[in-house]
Amino acid sequence: MHHVQLIYSSQPFGFDEAILNGILLDARRCNNRDGITGALVCRRDIYLQLLEGPDAEVQSAFNRIIRDDRHVNIQKLLCRPVTDRLFAAWDMFHDPAQSFHWTGEQISEGVLDNANEDDVLNVFIELAYRLDEK
């Protein structure tokens, strides 16, 4: 079976705990059903999410996200074939972005427009590494 990792960014539309919890609940339910794992890094100004799993299911999940009005300015940043998952044990790991290495100012100035795939992937590699250390 062909597996992929897809990373996208978006901006929250009306960010609060209830909306975030709803997104996480939906993601975990659908991902568990579809064999998708991943992580969501979020802050008031940005969602950065990695989805990994079977290609068709990941693409379907991304299409659902595109239609979800809790996100705006959705940008696919990376989609690549993989053999190993970074978050194999997590339907959707939630990182409240304490460790996020871009400031709100950098995000609003478009740092992600100029980030390369390695920059974006490294956010999740570092997160997975810290999870493994716990």
- The pLDDT, as a whole number, for residue 97 is 60
Q: Which percentage of the chain shows pLDDT scores above 90?
A: 39
**CATH code, domain with 38:** 3.30.70.100
* pTM, entire model: 0.88
Question: Does residue 102 carry a pLDDT above 80?
Answer: no
Domain range for 30: 3-133
Q: How far apart are CA 43 and CA 15, in angstroms?
A: 9
C-alpha distances (whole Å) from 88 to each of 13, 22, 43, 68 are 29, 22, 23, 25
57-87 residue pLDDT tens: 999 999 999 998 888 899 999 999 999 999 9
- The pLDDT, as a whole number, for residue 113 is 81
Q: How many domains does the chain have?
A: 1
10-62 residue pLDDT tens: 988 777 788 888 888 888 999 999 999 999 888 778 888 999 999 999 999 99
**Stretch 119-126: mean pLDDT:** 89
| C-alpha triplet 69, 62, 77: angle, nearest 5° | 100
For 50, phi then psi, to 5°, come to: -110, 130
